[in-house]
Structure 1
Amino acid sequence: MDLLRSLPIGLYLEQPVTWLHHLDPRVKLGWLMTFLLAPILANNACRIALVGLLILLTLTARIPWRAWKQQMGWLLIVAGLAFVITCIFDDGLALTSQPRLVGAELSDITATGYQFGDYRDIQPTPYDYVVLSVGRITVTRHSLDLATRFTTLLFTLVYSTSLYLLVTAPEEITTGLEQLLDPLNRFKIPITEILLTLTLALRFIPLVLEEVQNLTRSVRTRAINWKKIGLKQTIQIWLVVAERLIENLLLRAEQIALAMNVRGFTAPNEHRVQWHRLQLRWGDGVAIALLILLWWARLSVGWMV
């Protein structure tokens, strides 16, 4: 199994180039922060709309099915399981659901005196706290609301970040963040060093997956009979594999550090590289206008009641 293809989390999609690739990284970062912050204290309708908007962006950008399936497939499975588990678990409210019947309940009202009209005008409402009850499985309105909030929040936070990394190169992320955080340099905060570390971390993800893949294949080629060796030896083997993985990753990090040192990356003032040239285009203006419209709708009708 090729981990670099089956788990493209945090990897950059170079081809094909979609319209999301052409957007300014600062604008895409604003949209990412919107997807991360807008679900806070939002109602379920707003959260479901954000999920639909993410799927719409993926479809309109014509991201290849292989990347879309691998990015969203496992997430939909996890979100679906979380939704089902949250629905059937106890909703946390110690309430006893009783049907609304016209009879003894209304007789109690007449005993105390009904001042606002004849009690015969009162009709039972179709409201029912229990949505589904099959055996010991009970789904209430509160548990359904919790499940919807949790799964939409999980999907939005994970997939929005994954989509941002999928259509934005690490160099673009570094340049956009550097310009946005440039005022912090007045407070002696090493913004350039921090963002360079972030870039290296994003570039290091494929190396980690490659090392895990190579070690996994090396274990498979030895045709170990896991049933015969027992649990103790199995744990020892995987501890050795984990130790080898850490050693290989540290060796890769040391090689990268030496290569940067040879090329003069000793201080940002001595060796500064312009990673990406930022320029706002008409498409960025449309994206900013839609972002403002989205926040207006969120602040107007998107609050949780």
Structure 2
Amino acid sequence: MDAIPEHSVLLSRTTSALDRIEALYLKVLRAALLIVATVLLICAAGWAAYSLMRVMRSPDSVVEKPSVVSVAEIVAREASTKTDAPRAGANVDVLRRERAYYDAFVKKYFALYREKFQPSLRDDDKKLTIGEFDDLTINSSARLDAVRSGDLSFEQDRKDLDGYLPIVTQAANSKQTVERLSRYRTATKRPVATQVQRTRVETRRGWDTFSDNCENWYLSPIGCAVTRRVEVPYTETVQVMRYPDGIASPSEVLKGYQDRYFQLLAERRERNASEAASQRDEIVRGHAAGWNGLSQSILIAGGFLVLMFFFLLVAIERHQRRSRSPVA
């Protein structure tokens, strides 16, 4: 029997080793394709679901948060009377319902003032009538003017006032308010030096080129010497009797609470409206991004199909290799 040449044995072994390496490579390739394809499928499904959720959101679903002010916020600092109530206009002619509401509110508001604030007045303080109290606080005549002209929504204003009255009632019963009114009741005025601007009349003599009230006024220099009385401003230091800083009368305390409440309410209403508008804009932008995401999901799904095609080619190659292998 002829011996097999050594180079044939070496070639056979080399071919067998290459076949094993190729088979291992195909296994690794199949596994990698399956892993990548699975990841692509999961990403495509997740991205499509997220994009679809953004597309389905509606800007109308955003609801503006209610604006509220607490008792602690309006009594947290000393009363301020810098914010004046709007001045009343003329010829107020509105529906009976609006006028009746404001009249009823002023009566309840004035009753609160008389019960909680007026007892702290000093002996020389003036007691407000209900009309003076109205002009100092909510100024219902100005509100009626604004309602009639369309500058003020009566329904919104009524809602705001109905929300304010319970808050200011709690503030009137708070410890801070009681202490503040007590300090006013026992405070004494002190002389305070202050600068005031005043004017005085002075006589001054000068040359008037337009005057002809003298002899030879037409000769050079043209005009006459005249005497005028002019007002001259000056600053004077005077002593004024004032309460110490932080002392406010009962009406000033109440007016400060009111101004603080409606200032905070307006600021929060504006902020909430801005936040709601921002959320609506974000939803609108999300619609465009959502459609773009759906398109990307389709592309990812296409990549998945391409990988599965390559996986199919590898599977066919494996099947053909097994078919060519000799049966033991």
TM-score bin (small chain): under 0.3
The structure having more radius of gyration, on CA atoms, is: 2
TM-score, normalised on structure 2? 0.19
